[in-house]
Amino acid sequence: MTKAKQLIFQNNKVLFFILASASVASLVVYIISVNLTVRNVVKRQAIETELSRITAEISELEFAYIDQKNGVTFELATDLGFEKVTKSKFVSRQFGVAVVATDSQRR
């Protein structure tokens, strides 16, 4: 009878240490997870702040571009040396000549 009681007692000790170890491991994993979550939230806030700054900068550049584009007039173009095109030339779809190099001719 004594051997049976000691066996059960030993199994309870092992079971206790297994459960205690699992609890400690779970606590460590929980702490690490909370820490990583907080770090990711802080990084996300920093990224959102940077994104807002970049978006504002892009908007300013777009407005500057539109302002400069609207400032170009025919008089300004002629003052800068541009001339009005009298006859437009377009590429035709007729027969053309193309030069192709093969591997033997590439040397």
The CA-based angle 17-23-29, given to 5 degrees, is: 135
Whether the pTM exceeds 0.85: the reply is no
Q: Which residue has the higher pLDDT, 38 or 84?
A: 38
User: pLDDT for 43-63, tens place per residue?
Assistant: 999 999 999 999 999 999 999
Chain centroid to Cα 38, Å, comes to 20
DSSP symbol at 87 = S
Which string of DSSP letters, residue by residue, matches 1-64?
-HHHHHHHHHHHHHHHHHHHHHHHHHHHHHHHHHHHHHHHHHHHHHHHHHHHHHHHHHHHHHHH
User: pLDDT for 53-94, tens place per residue?
Assistant: 999 999 999 999 999 999 988 888 889 998 888 888 777 777
